[in-house]
Each structure stands twice: as C-alpha cells, then as structure tokens.
Amino acid sequence: MNIYADNAATTKMSDTAINAMTDCIKNFWGNPSSLYSIGQRAKEKLEDARFEIAGIINAEPREIIFTSGGSEADNQAILTAALIGKKKGKTHIVSSAFEHHAVLHTLNKLKNYGFDITLLDVHENGIININELESAVRNDTCLVTIMTANNEIGTIQPIKEIGALCRKHGILFHTDAVQAVGHLPIDVKDQCIDMLSASAHKFHGPKGTGFLYCRKGIPLSSLIEGGAQERNKRAGTENLPAIMGMAAALKETAADMDKHNAHKAVIRDRLIAGLSQIPHSALNGDAAQRLSGNVNFSFEGIEGESLLILLDQRGISASSGSACTSGALDPSHVLLSIGRIHDVAHGSLRLTIGEDITEDEADYIISNVSEVVAYLRSFSPVWRDLMTGKREFIL
C-alpha cells in the first residue's frame, strides 16, 4: 500500500490545476503588462483568476494580491501593519506561540526595530483564549496576527471572535489561513479579517504561488520593488501559469469542501480511536476544534524520526511535527507550546489525510503505527527506564 498522509506539508496537484497551467503555458503565454492582444488575453486570465479567488473568500478582486506563496504573504502582511503602526507610534504586536515560522521569524526581525511582541499562550488544547487576547491588547497595539488553523496539530482558532475584538479596538487583524483556505469556509467580511495569507500548494495547486487578501483602504506595502504589477504592491511579471492553476484548484476544492470534510472527519476519528489504543500515547490538540484532515499523536519512549523511516518502508508518508522541523534536532515549537516536554514532543507523528483516503487505508495506518511503535519501544533505553520505574510516565 502507498498512502500519502502529509497533506499539511504539500498536496498533490489536481488534474484540473495541471490542465489550467498547461492551457496557460500553451495559449496564454503573453506578458499581462503588454498592450497588444496576446498580452491582453493573458491579462484577462489573470483577472479571471483574481475574480474567482476573491469570490471564494467573499473579498473584492482588487483586495487580492498574488504572491510567491504563504510565506511571502505572511511577511508582506506583517510588514504592512508594522509600517502603518510605526507612523502612529504603535509598535506592539500580539500573536501566538505556535504560529508558522514565516510569522514568528518576521516578528522576531521586527523586535530589532523596536517592536514589542506578545505571544499568547495556546494552552493544552492548542486554542487561544479570547479573554487573554483582550487583556493583551494595548493602546499601542498595531496588529494581531493569529493563524486560522495550525499546520502541525490542526487546531482551529475562534477567528470571527478575534476579528470582532480587533475591529472594536481599531487594531489590524491578519490571519495565516494557509491550512484553512480550501478546507474551511472563509468569509473575510463576516469574520472581520483585514489581511489573510494563502498558499496554492496546500489545496492541490502548484508550489511557489499564493495570495494575500488585504482589505481595501489598508495601504499595503510592497516587499518587492520594481514594475507596476499588482497595482504597485508586488513587482515582477506575474507567474500566470501558477496563478491560473491556483484559481482552478481552489474553485474545485472549495466546491466539494463540505463533502471532503465530512469524509475526512470520519477517517480522522477512526485514526484517533485506533491510535489511542497504543499505551502511553496522547492526541495533540483539541479533538473537536481541529481540521478534518489532521491527526497528531505523541508516543512516549520513541523517536519520531525512526518512526517516520519505518513507516515510509511500509508505504506510509507522514511527518513528525512539521516539515520544517523534521531534519532539525529541535523539537517542534508547536508541541512545546501546548506543554509537551522535549522527550515526548520528539516521539510525535503527524498524519494529514487527503479526501481520497479510505477506511482500509486508515486501518492499515493504525496497525502499522501500532506495530512500529511497539518495535521501537522494544529496544528503546528510555522505554526500558519507563518500564523499570527509573523514569516516570508522562502520558
């Protein structure tokens, strides 16, 4: 069996997206900035894509800026809010401890320029507390940036409440919605979102493209200077094949979202029930307020990396923590943020399933993870210490 269970790292491109890209490369290869008809036909496709994407999140087309992906959109949103804030003497930003590194590292950079950053606790369930957010905002707060859904543990934040609170206090609200767009209903007006980041390769579109929604009236700052593309907010000839692929992928994913979520939630809960049978294991993040495709477990006494390698040999592609942290020795900052200690965080497994997963595949995952965990424990010195009482079990 071959099961791809790492959809939070990237998704396989849909045929629809591939076809849209091929169509563009063959038939709409002109430069959208050119005035002759070959260019103008490309420009039309660019604006069609913008219109399509805007509609799906209830934005206006001119509120959509195409970027090279989620990371760039996060950087641009945060820089914009920081520059607006700085002009007014507001240099305080509120975020959360388990944001993606595209957000956290950008905030860290701003610290060197005099910004003060408050990172909210995400508690054991991986969800921020709205009252704590209200207490954290100050007169000099210029931005609240909280992700819609976490990429490692899949927990979903109370976005509408956060948006309403920010609106009430006159603070800009940005959300990294890379794991949510195409997977959860989003309405930027209803949820009072000022800026939102998305990435095509998380919803069956191509890599290296994404978009930033920026509510009209907010003076968006560009990260890349040059030509007048994207209304002077993002220079460089547009990656039209990728943009057309992204729009086609999002249209298709969004149309079937409810059906996909219903199916994935059933499989997710089957996986959670099955993996909970493994002794000294625990689900990471809230069981209910989470993405339908996310299962994240910690198993005491093992190394996540060894687990991944052995699962790969059995045809299962999964991740421990996030793609950015596997490879590095540091345990995932997300798992640490929900209170997992280093040893336990190291023995973690993230399964992010796609809509095509079957019950049989879920059962195959459960039996193989159970076997591999037992096998790894059979020669783990940490497990021996736990069993002989030299160490105390945590889970």
Ligand X SMILES: *Cc1c(COP(=O)(O)O)cnc(C)c1O
Find residue 210's DSSP bridge partners.
67, 199
Residue pointed to by tokens 């206090």: 169
Count the residues of the shown chain that bind ligand X, applying the rule CB under 6 A: 13
Distance from C-alpha of 86 to C-alpha of 59, rounded to nearest angstrom: 27
Distance from C-alpha of 209 to C-alpha of 13, rounded to nearest angstrom: 13
CB of residue 197 to ligand X, shortest distance in Å: 7
For residue 304, state whether it binds ligand X (rule: CB under 6 A): no
- CB closer to ligand X out of 20 and 177: 177
Distance of CA 191 to the CA centre of its chain: 18
> Is the Cβ–Cβ distance between 95 and 145 less than 8 Å?
yes
> Is the Cβ–Cβ distance between 382 and 391 less than 8 Å?
yes
Question: Under 8 Å CB-to-CB from 182, ≥6 apart: which residues?
Answer: 202, 203, 204, 249, 250, 253, 254, 257
Site string for ligand X, 236-275 (x = CB under 6 A): ----------------------------------------
Tokens standing for 318? 């999964």
For residue 176, state whether it binds ligand X (rule: CB under 6 A): yes
- CB closer to ligand X out of 133 and 178: 178
Find residue 67's DSSP bridge partners.
210
Pick one of 145, 179, 253, 380: the residue that binds ligand X (CB under 6 A): 179
Pick one of 91, 106, 151, 332: the residue that binds ligand X (CB under 6 A): 151
CB of residue 240 to ligand X, shortest distance in Å: 17
- Strand duo 210-214 + 195-199: pairing: antiparallel
For residue 70, state whether it binds ligand X (rule: CB under 6 A): yes
Segment contacting ligand X (CB under 6 A): 31-39, 174-182, 263-271, 365-373?
174-182
Pick one of 54, 107, 122, 147: the residue that binds ligand X (CB under 6 A): 147
Question: Under 8 Å CB-to-CB from 192, ≥6 apart: which residues?
Answer: 160, 163, 164, 166, 167, 173
For residue 7, state whether it binds ligand X (rule: CB under 6 A): no
Tokens standing for 88? 């007014």
Q: What is the CA radius of gyration of the chain?
A: 22
- The DSSP element (H or E) to which 116 belongs, if any, is strand 116-120
Phi (first) and psi of residue 143, to 5 degrees: -155, 140
CB of residue 96 to ligand X, shortest distance in Å: 12
- CB closer to ligand X out of 203 and 297: 203
Biggest CA–CA distance in the chain, Å, is: 78
CB of residue 41 to ligand X, shortest distance in Å: 28
Tell me the CB-side half-sphere exposure of residue 68, using CA atoms within 13 A: 12
Side chain identity at residue 381, one-letter code: P
Instruction: Note if 142 is an active site residue.
Output: no
- Strand duo 3-4 + 64-67: pairing: unpaired
CB of residue 221 to ligand X, shortest distance in Å: 19
Site string for ligand X, 196-225 (x = CB under 6 A): ---x--x-------x---------------
The one catalytic residue in 24, 192, 214, 324 is 324
Segment contacting ligand X (CB under 6 A): 64-72, 77-85, 234-242, 365-373?
64-72
- CB closer to ligand X out of 199 and 296: 199
- CB closer to ligand X out of 52 and 74: 74
- CB closer to ligand X out of 118 and 155: 155
For residue 368, state whether it binds ligand X (rule: CB under 6 A): no
Segment contacting ligand X (CB under 6 A): 66-74, 121-129, 133-141, 186-194?
66-74
Residue pointed to by tokens 């079990």: 393
- CB closer to ligand X out of 54 and 177: 177
Q: What angle do CA 78, 53, 58 make, to 5 degrees?
A: 80
Distance of CA 284 to the CA centre of its chain: 16
Segment contacting ligand X (CB under 6 A): 63-71, 111-119, 188-196, 284-292?
63-71
Site string for ligand X, 83-112 (x = CB under 6 A): -----------------x-x----------
Residue ranges that bind ligand X, judged by CB under 6 A: 69-71, 100, 102, 147, 151, 176, 178-179, 199, 202, 210
Q: Which residues are catalytic?
A: 324
